Amino acid sequence: MASAQEQRKVITFDRFDRLKPAKMTAVIDGFLYADTLTNVIGKSGACKSFLLQGMAACVATGTHWMGRRVERGAVFYIGGEGLNGLLKRFRGWQNYTGVTLEGAPLYIASGLPPLSDQLNVAATIEAIQECAEESFFRMGGADPALIVIDTLARALGGADENSAAEVGRLIEGLDWIRQRWGCAVACAHHTGHGENTQNRGRGSSAIYAALDGELLVTSNGDDVTVTSTKVKDWTKPEPLVLTRNIVAVEVEDTIETTLVLDKASIQDLAAHDDLIRQQVLERKGAGKTVRAIAADLGVSRWKVQSITDKARQANDYRRQADGE
C-alpha cells in the first residue's frame, strides 16, 4: 500500500525536451490574454469601469474592441457597485454600437464577496460553473473567457491592502478562479493619492508582482488614455487614446445618459498630442523632472524625454539660424 506521502503529490517534474510551449491565446489582442491576471488602474473617475465594461461586452458578443481581434466567450462581471447603474451602462453600449447583448453569454453578479476568503472563492466558482454549463451547451461551447472584478479593494473586503499577507490571500483566490477555466481575470484598481503614486496601483507591492499585465487609465477632458505599464509574456501595445461619448438610455419612462468609450479620431489624436506636448514643456520649464512629469500626465518617461529632446533641438536650430 502506498504511503500518504506517495499518494499526495504536491509537485511533479518532466524533462525539458518533453515539454512544449503553449501559444498564448488572446482574449483581446494585445491587452487581455487567457490564463492571466491583469489590473486596470487609475484615479477615481478615470473611466476604468467603463473600459472594462466595453471589453466585457465585446468579448461576450465577439465584437472587435477598438479594432483589436477578440476571442468570443462567456463573461462574468463581478462588481460591488449598483446593479442598475451597471445595466444602464451595458444598455448604453448596445445603443452606441448597435450590437445586441440579448442572449449573449454576459453574466452579472448580484454582488462582490470578499475573495480573500476561501469559502467565498469556492462559492463564487460554483456559481460561475452553473452559468458556464448553461452557456457551454446553449452557445455551442462558449467557455468562460473573461472574469471581471470591480474593484480589487471591494474584493479584499475588510482586509488591509497594504499587507502582503492579506493581499496574498486575495491573489491566491483570484488564481484559483483563473486556473479553474484558464480564463483572463481583469480587476479594476485605484491608483495612489500621492504625487509619485498616481501611475501605480494602491497598496502592497505584492499586487503588482502577482500581475501578468497592467493597464493605466488616465483622463484629460474627454480624452481617455490607456497605457500598458506591465506585460509578462506578450508584446506591449502602444498607448490607446479614446474619447468619452455620451449616450442616451431609456430607463422605464425617462431618458438618462451614460458614457461609452471609443477610439479617438485623427483630429482628436493630433489635438491630444499637442496638448501633451504643451503640458510637458510647461512642467519642464517649471523645473520638474522627467519622472515627475510622466507621473503627472500618465505618459511614459520615454515620451516626455522625446518631447523635451525635440524641443531642445528645435531651439538649437533656431539659434543657429539666427546666428547666435
Predicted confidence pLDDT, tens digits, the chain (324 residues)? 455 555 667 889 999 999 988 888 999 999 999 999 999 999 999 999 999 999 999 999 999 999 999 999 999 999 987 788 899 999 999 999 999 999 899 999 999 999 999 999 999 999 999 998 887 777 666 789 999 999 899 999 888 899 999 999 999 999 999 999 999 999 999 998 766 667 889 889 999 999 999 999 998 888 999 999 999 989 999 889 999 999 999 888 889 999 999 997 655 556 667 778 888 888 888 888 888 887 777 677 777 888 888 888 777 766 666 655
- The reported pTM is 0.80
Decide: residue 307, CB within 10 A, 0-12 exposed, 13-18 middle, 19+ buried: buried
Domain 24-264, CATH = 3.40.50.300
Distance CA(178)–CA(115), nearest Å, equals 13
Element (H, E) at 153: helix 152-155
Helices (H) and strands (E) in the chain, counts: 10, 11
